[in-house]
Amino acid sequence: MQEQLELTGAGFGTVVGERPLPKMSKTGSAVPLAAQTRRGGSTGHLLRHLAEMTVVMMLGMAMLGGVSQAALTAVGLDYDRVQLEWPAVTGLLMAFNMTLPMVLWMRHRRHSWPYAMEMAAAMFIPVLALTPPLWLGLISGDALSGIQHMAMIPSMLVVMLRRRKELAR
């Protein structure tokens, strides 16, 4: 039995008795019409991506935090003492512990290397920006840690908004 094709003006072809077929893109791949006309990802998609990144970062902080403490102990350093005397070091360790799993998850989700590296930079920028005020005695180590964590999400959001077209894919 032959199937009949019926064209509609909305860019969809309909096979009799079947679901609508998506309009074909210029490259010949099927792309939903909404995705062809949309500029960047939706707010919901961006928030889902942010939630994924946050969960992965928290897992990394929990799992790799113990590894960091063990590594410092193995070389004869007490983590608590390092945190008191060199809070920028523990801030960088925290950024690393959160960034590594985030980048791995982003690559698993097939995000580009440049996007993953920009997100990694977004994680380190807060602690790097806060280190000079720390050294000048303008903020404490506890303040560095608190501000660092509060600044990471807005810093990541800036990158996500800049890369919203990639998020839409």
Confidence of residue 7 (pLDDT cuts 50, 70, 90): very low
Q: Taking a C-beta distance cutoff of 8 angstroms, is the pair 144, 134 a contact? A: yes
pLDDT tens-digit map of 65-117: 999 999 999 999 998 899 999 999 999 999 999 999 999 999 999 999 999 99
Percent of the chain with pLDDT over 90: 62
Q: What is the rounded distance in angstroms from the CA atom of residue 35 to the CA atom of residue 23?
A: 11
Q: What is the mean pLDDT of the chain?
A: 81
Residue 136, pLDDT score: 96
Residue 41, pLDDT score: 54
Residue 142, pLDDT score: 93
Residue 26, pLDDT score: 52
Instruction: For 38-78, give the DSSP string.
Output: --S--HHHHHHHHHHHHHHHHHHHHHHHHHHHHHHHHTT--
How many CB atoms neighbour CB 124 within 10 A?
A: 18
pLDDT higher than threshold 50 for residue 15: no
Closest CA to 67 of 92, 91, 94, 104: 94
Average pLDDT, stretch 10-23? 44
Q: What is the rounded distance in angstroms from the CA atom of residue 67 to the CA atom of residue 123?
A: 19
How far from chain centre, in Å, is Cα 53?
A: 5
